[in-house]
Amino acid sequence: MQLIIVESPSKAKTIEKYLGGKYKVDASGGHVRDLPEKRLGVNVADNYTPNYVISADKKAVIKRLKEKVEKADKIYLATDPDREGEAISWHLKEVLGLDGRAQRIVFNEISETAVKEALKNPRDINYNLVDSQQARRVLDRLVGYKISPFLCKRIQSGLSGGRVQSVALKIVVDREREIRAFVPSEYWNLTAEVKGAKSEVFSAVLEEKRGRKFKPSNQAEADVAEQIVKNGKIVVKEVKKSVTKAHAFPPFTTSTMQQDASAKLNMSSSMCMQVAQHLYEGVETANGHLALVTYIRTDSVRVSPVAQSMARNYIEEKFGKEYLPSKPNVFKSKKNAQDAHEAIRPIDVSLTPEKAKPLLDRNHYNLYKLIYDRFIASQMKDVEYNSVQITSEVGDYALKTYGRTVKFKGYTAVYNDYRASEEDDSDKIKIIPDVEEGEVLDLTALTKEQKFTKPPVRYTDASLIRIMEEKGIGRPSTYATIISVLSKRKYTTKDGKNIIPTDIAFAITDMLTKYFSDIMDISFTANMEDRLDDIENGGQDWRDIIGEFYPSFIERLSKASSDGDEVTDILCDKCGAPMIRKSGRYGKFLACSKYPECANIKSENEEVSDVKCDKCGAMMIYKTGKFGKFLACPNYPDCTNVKPIDEKVVEQKCKKCGGLMVLKKGRFGNYLQCVECKETLSQTEKAGVCPQCGKPTQKMTSRNGKPFYGCSGYPTCNFMSWDMPNGEHCPICNSFIVIAKDGKTKKCSNKDCDYTDKPVRKKKDAKNS
């Protein structure tokens, strides 16, 4: 038996369909082991060695795979074709004890041809890719697990920070600060509707004065310009006509796909990646399991010659030779792009969006069409425009007209990038006015409009991904995760598509910028990404990169954690060492300088109460927590007793042991509790009679604030009712009777029973009637 191990069950189904019964295909479900969740998991003293543990939910998977491995003659590790996939293959090899038995295969698309070709060309695991992934994982763990507790201590609990996440948050916060600090400036638009001897009416906008750019900055300036344009002679000074071209866009990378899906389909980056993953791995259709696109995590725009040929044949057949370039369009990938696999494209060009539509749901169809159209358009001719720029003069002022019409559709017959669509909505008119230099134009209308400059726009998923890519923050496979984490942590919210930082985001950004300026510096983060990428090319030990960064990071963390600390002359009442004044979430406090040998802490201005600790007898002290003041034993941590301030000792003794009883407040009202044996006694209002056992019922309050009646004999009797029972039973259905809201009328508690017993009104005396 030959065994192929992939990541996802969907991928396994697709491959198994292509290979028939010759191979068994199983899935690991992603990573089978990782760094532990609740501890650092990196041995800093041992050259940053990661301590991987098997994930609890993968033990059954590993057991199943081990059983299949024992029966297999050949084993192929076919996880995704990137560094994450390479690392998963390595983890599988280690956990399953494969040694030299397993070989690695990769394919850029899940098609029968690609899979069979990969099986002909197996290789060993690429440890440079593995090391690059390990370096990122370890570095992110070291930063995240150290910074997060610092934020929790200095700001509030539950916060987290990260090497890339925090920089992305800073980008959003900085933009919001620009918006808040923005002061709008007034300007005025003057638009003249003019007509030449042979032309139709067209628009000309005031843009210059005495040869320099000019917009009236107030109404007075606008009024002057208006009078000159209205009463002067408008003469055409210059007419520039040209044919302009725009080259087709390259096929999608991970980043550009997310940007276009956000702008055109209103699809979040995380949703886009989820749908794209399905299209890559294969989706269930009426025609069986079907994979539609190539690997979706890539920053390369390279396309295979076979795919180019498929696209060119389709273009010639559907649009004609005039839309086909003389040779295939080739695009240059950006610097540092990982060129291991192609751009994102359809696997089979003959499966058009129209043919695929009945097989897919709305989201999958829309994204497939976007990918398909972008790929086909990438191999089409340029779009050509007839363009014109007309400059007209009147007095000291110059009016400008921009016109453009499509001469040849080119690639736009199939696809328009969302930024090109935005440009089409600009002030360019869609005609070419027929005027000549020196011609005098007739003014048919003149409009004057007050405007104000607008602040920078907030980021959307699309624009935030674009800026992260431009700045080198993160990598294509991480953009969606970063944006998703910021939202889940409540560091950002959405107003439509716009990303808005919350108040806590400002506090986090300021705190990290103050103490960790390098981590929060965009260029530093981008440079680190490049260095981590370089590990893939070999010649760079990943531990060296972390070793250069970590010691100085820990030194800054230590200084940040102790910033504001001050040695006092107050001695620790546990060990006698001097106490240090520290700053915490709830203000200043004192901590023993011998920590961690002595963990004694106390409030700087401790106030001793007159309440004795009922566990050790010490006089309790007042402390303040996030829910307000409370009493705590001064002998902490030997005695951890705490109690609320509003407890009062009552005269009543405990019936069980004779101890003191204290009055407490609970979720359902007041109650008494013995300080010795903890026996409790309800102090809630008695009202009504239990119809089950005859004991009085108690009026209590639910956690939602709604009153109800429960038996005082609880837990022996668990009767409860939203209305007050009177202990009687209905003569019709035998359900219990309750008192209505008027406090007098009796009615059956059974909603299906109509029994009521209203009190009889006494007749008035005849003389009073």
Q: Which residues are catalytic?
A: 295
Q: CA 162, CA 715: separation in Å to the nearest integer?
A: 50
DSSP letters, 106-164, are --SS-SHHHHHHHHHS-B---HHHHHHHHHHHHHHHHHHHHHHHHHHHHT-TT----TT
Instruction: Find, among 60, 58, 56, 53, the residue nearest to 34 by Cα.
Output: 53
List beta partners, residue 442: 195
- Residue 75 CA to chain centroid, in angstroms? 37
Give exposure, 29-43, as e/b (b: 16+ Cβ within 10 Å).
ebbbbbbeeeeebbe
Kindly report whether the peptide bond that precedes residue 715 is cis, defined as omega within 30 degrees of 0.
yes
Instruction: Find, among 160, 124, 128, 144, the residue nearest to 35 by Cα.
Output: 144
Half-sphere exposure of 364 (CA within 13 A, CB side): 19
With 0-12 CB in 10 A as exposed, 13-18 as middle and 19+ as buried, what is 594?
Answer: middle
> How big is the CA angle at 649 (ends 644 and 653), to the nearest 5 degrees?
130
Instruction: Find, among 511, 551, 579, 567, the residue nearest to 150 by Cα.
Output: 511
Helix and strand tally (H, E) in the chain?
Answer: 18, 39
Q: CA 219, CA 452: separation in Å to the nearest integer?
A: 12
Instruction: Find, among 289, 272, 481, 251, the residue nearest to 366 by Cα.
Output: 272
Q: How many CB atoms lie within 10 A of CB 751?
A: 7
Read off the tokens for 240. 């520039």
User: Quick check: 433 and 199 in contact, CB under 8 A?
Assistant: yes
Cα–Cα distances (Å) from 135 to 146, 261, 544, 595, in that order, read: 17, 31, 10, 33
H or E element: which one contains 177? Answer: helix 165-181
User: Quick check: 153 and 584 in contact, CB under 8 A?
Assistant: yes
Q: CA 206, CA 193: separation in Å to the nearest integer?
A: 11
Q: How many CB atoms lie within 10 A of CB 86?
A: 26
With 0-12 CB in 10 A as exposed, 13-18 as middle and 19+ as buried, what is 537?
Answer: exposed
Q: CA 214, CA 205: separation in Å to the nearest integer?
A: 11
State the alpha helices, DSSP H only, in 266-304: 269-281
Q: CA 194, CA 393: separation in Å to the nearest integer?
A: 12
Give the list of residues 6+ apart from residue 487 with CB closer than 8 angstroms, or none.
493, 494
